[in-house]
Amino acid sequence: MFPTMEDAYDVNEGMSTERAYEAEPVPSLSETITLRSILMSVTLGVILSVVAMKISLNSGFLPSLSIPAGLLGFFMSRASIRVLDYLEVPHLPFTRQENTVIQTCVVACTSIAFSGGFGTFLLAMGKKSAGGDIQDDINVEEPNIFRMVTFLFLVSFAGIFIIMPFRKVMIIRHQLTFPSGTATAHLINSFNTPQGANQAKMQVSMLFKSFGGSMAWSIFQWFFSGGTVCGFKVFPTFGLEAYKRGFFFDFSMTNVGIGMICPYMISISMLVGSVISWGIMWPYIETKEGSWYPTSLGSGSLSGIKGYKVFIGMSMILADGFFNFLCIMFQTSDAMSKRRQQPMQGNGSAQPFQCMNGACDLDQNKTVKSFDDRRRAQVFLRDQILNSVMIGSYILLAAISTIVIPHLYPQLRYYHVALTYLAAPVFSFCNAYGYGITDMNLSSTYAKMAMLVFGSWVGLKGGGVVAGLVACGIMMCTLCNGGDVMQDLKTGYLTLTSPRAILISEVIGTALGCIINPSIFWVFYKVYKTATIGDIPEVPYARVYRGMAMLSVGQGGLPRHSMLLAKVFFVLALVMCVLREVANRRQWRMRHYIPSTVAMAVAFFVPPDMPIGMCIGSLALRLWERTDPGKEQLLSPAVASGLICGDGLGSLVSSLLTLTKAAPPICIMFLSRGDNVKLDEFLAKLPAT
């Protein structure tokens, strides 16, 4: 029986979400974490991990997949229930708590595609990212699936256990927002109403339509890619000269879908960055070959033009990260100071829940919580998860990692690993608190700081490049997973899902992610290891992290004026960040037109075809918004998710075909008129077969 909106109205408190579910008992742990939820989590974890891996390798970032996970979890569970009803098999009712468990487990699994470093620090250790600049093997570690899985199991769980003791402080006492977690909770709550169920059905129907079309298109393109420069992906949309500079549409539905999910300004900022870098700067710097840098260098050498690309873009990312770090630290300190000055709501931990019906008298000196707050806090505080167990688990994982990681990566000593785990709890709390206020996860910023510290400590001769990247990986996995756990706890708080169920779901999802994501990456890596994976066009951030690690050990041999240009762009990016912050605070009209610094910096590494695809997605979304704003707001996330999922699975199918030695039967090439005449003349001279 679905709750109705009339049931959600309280005469004393107005609209109430939990009044609608007041008659429904909160399910037990065994009724929340079921075999059905685990099977759904595994299925969706595999599907969305392919998508997450594709996005992470192509763009270096990962948009939130919590809404697609919650939506697909709801639909697939409802579909399975209909099948069981048809077969007259008894089953438990599907609840919003079970929906939350599925969403939590799937997101924990897919987030490792980013935090696991497949598009960042892991590939940055390899020879392709090194580009031939470092000849000694001590600063190069090629990807190995056994080592990746072992490393992820060691470092991915620590963040879960160390952040759990802070759950009451952040969720109950400080009532941090965690906007993404709150939005996901509202979505899950709405799914379980008749109107929400109907909307979910429409969204899932549209998702599968776009999914099927995108996957079919991706597989269709494979048949025409029988060569190195063949297929629709090399279509010279704006002419052959523009194509040589990377300005063309590659018909990638992943980029179109990302453009529909990202804000308009992100897509536009990346296009602006592409015009500045690939359209103006790189052509000019190429004219200085032989003057600013030697002519005999390979295309992957950081002593050549790659050095300009990496260090200029890296300086802009560092400037943005440094500015946001200072802003969030200031906001966090200010918020915590104000919270300390305010008295706690209620007198004691038990008193706010002594009057669950909302009939308590109001007092001028005491704030009475709403029914929703009291109900949610009661369920949230009901589970007794011992902090000593959580801290003990963290210490045990840290001790095991301190012993094992130096055997996996000898460049990092045991005392380096121990110090990293000693500092991680402090940074994890700061990151999660800032995440709750601003919805910005700065785990990668803290990780870069660890990279610079430990890389310079070990030094170039001791393998400081790899040591810095490994320390970066430990910090990123710990902090990123910790921030995600706190966000999922906020979702659980708003859907009456117990923290114990969230914790178990996180552990299950993380364990799945430590196996599924390395396996998916290994498929892509084996297929493309002789092509461009690991190079800037496919994995832009691998070069960034490699460049930062080399900078930390003081590696020389950089091209002329590269550091000067990096400093200039660092200052320009810092000025742009300050201008954007001031414009937002003072509500200037120009605030909507100031580009994103990080988005522009990413465009310095990825070819312009990706921003062009994103802009096409943003343009399609804008036209849809103008013609039918109601359906656009409801269905556009589903369409975008379907495009990304379909293209990701289509790429996986193409990869599997390549692994089986299957070759595309047709090659489509695009030549200029003059080259085509020469080709015809050459073919005419060949003997007839």
Among 49-58, 189-198, 368-377, 612-621, which range has the highest average pLDDT?
A: 612-621
Q: Spell out the residues 6+ positions from residue 273 whose beta carbon is closer than 8 angstroms to its own.
A: 595, 599, 600, 601, 602, 603, 604, 611
Half-sphere exposure of 117 (CA within 13 A, CB side): 33
Task: Name the pTM for this structure.
Answer: 0.70
Among 150-164, 311-325, 440-454, 667-681, which range has the highest average pLDDT?
A: 150-164
Q: Kindly state the tokens that stand for 106.
A: 């799937």
Dihedral (CA of 682, 684, 687, 689) sign: positive
Does residue 392 belong to any structural domain of this protein? no
Mean pLDDT of 307-335: 76
Task: For 652-684, write each residue's pLDDT tens digit.
Answer: 677 677 667 778 888 888 888 888 888 888 888
501 vs 72, which has greater pLDDT?
A: 501
pLDDT of residue 414: 93
Task: For 179-192, write each residue's pLDDT tens digit.
Answer: 777 777 877 877 76
Does residue 644 belong to any structural domain of this protein? yes
Q: Kindly state the tokens that stand for 241.
A: 């000269």
Task: For 395-421, write each residue's pLDDT tens digit.
Answer: 999 999 999 999 999 989 999 999 999
Mean pLDDT of 368-381: 79
Q: Kindly state the tokens that stand for 138.
A: 């001590």
Instruction: Tell me: pLDDT of 312 over 90.
Output: no
| Alpha carbon distances (Å) from 466 to 143, 144, 161, 411, 463 | 12, 14, 27, 7, 6
Mean pLDDT of 132-149: 78
By CB neighbour count within 10 A (0-12 exposed, 13-18 middle, 19+ buried), where does 289 fall? middle
Mean pLDDT of 441-461: 82
Q: Kindly state the tokens that stand for 300.
A: 């992957």
Q: What amino acid is encoded at 13 in this protein?
A: E
Instruction: Tell me: pLDDT of 283 over 80.
Output: yes
Instruction: Tell me: pLDDT of 13 over 50.
Output: no
Does residue 125 belong to any structural domain of this protein? no
Q: How much of the chain exceeds pLDDT 70, in percent?
A: 82
325 vs 438, which has greater pLDDT?
A: 325
Does residue 264 belong to any structural domain of this protein? yes
* Residue of 396, 456, 448 whose CA lies nearest to 427: 448
Instruction: Tell me: pLDDT of 510 over 90.
Output: yes
Confidence of residue 200 (pLDDT cuts 50, 70, 90): low
401 in helix, strand or coil?
A: helix
Instruction: Tell me: pLDDT of 567 over 80.
Output: yes
pLDDT of residue 433: 78
Half-sphere exposure of 550 (CA within 13 A, CB side): 26
pLDDT of residue 539: 67
504 vs 174, which has greater pLDDT?
A: 504
Q: How far apart are CA 502 and CA 504, in angstroms?
A: 6
Q: How much of the chain exceeds pLDDT 90, in percent?
A: 16
Q: Kindly state the greatest CA–CA separation across the chain.
A: 100
pLDDT of residue 289: 82
Does residue 72 belong to any structural domain of this protein? no
Confidence of residue 139 (pLDDT cuts 50, 70, 90): confident
Mean pLDDT of 387-394: 91
Q: What amino acid is encoded at 453 in this protein?
A: V
Task: For 22-76, write each residue's pLDDT tens digit.
Answer: 777 888 888 889 888 899 999 999 888 887 887 777 666 666 677 778 777 888 8
127-141, 586-600, 631-645: range with lowest mean pLDDT: 127-141
Using the CB atoms, write b or e for 573-587: b if 16+ within 10 Å: bbebbeebeebeeee
Instruction: Tell me: pLDDT of 129 over 70.
Output: no
Q: What amino acid is encoded at 117 in this protein?
A: G
Instruction: Tell me: pLDDT of 14 over 90.
Output: no
Q: How far apart are CA 498 and CA 172, in angstroms?
A: 14
Q: How many domains does the chain have?
A: 1
Does residue 314 belong to any structural domain of this protein? yes
Q: Kindly state the tokens that stand for 514.
A: 């430590």
651 in helix, strand or coil?
A: helix
Does residue 405 belong to any structural domain of this protein? no
Q: How far apart are CA 250 and CA 511, in angstroms?
A: 36
Q: Spell out the residues 6+ positions from residue 275 whose beta carbon is closer than 8 angstroms to its own.
A: 608
pLDDT of residue 489: 92
Other residues' Cβ atoms within 10 Å of the Cβ of residue 592: 10
Contact 155, 162 (CB under 8 A): no
Residue ranges in 463-559 assigned as alpha helix (H): 464-494, 499-528, 540-552
pLDDT mean across residues, the chain: 79
Instruction: Tell me: pLDDT of 108 over 60.
Output: yes
Mean pLDDT of 360-371: 48
Instruction: Tell me: pLDDT of 508 over 90.
Output: yes
Mean pLDDT of 559-563: 82
Does residue 610 belong to any structural domain of this protein? yes
Instruction: Tell me: pLDDT of 360 over 60.
Output: no
Confidence of residue 555 (pLDDT cuts 50, 70, 90): low
pLDDT of residue 258: 77
Q: How far apart are CA 631 and CA 615, in angstroms?
A: 21
Structural domain range at position 650? 215-288+299-318+560-659
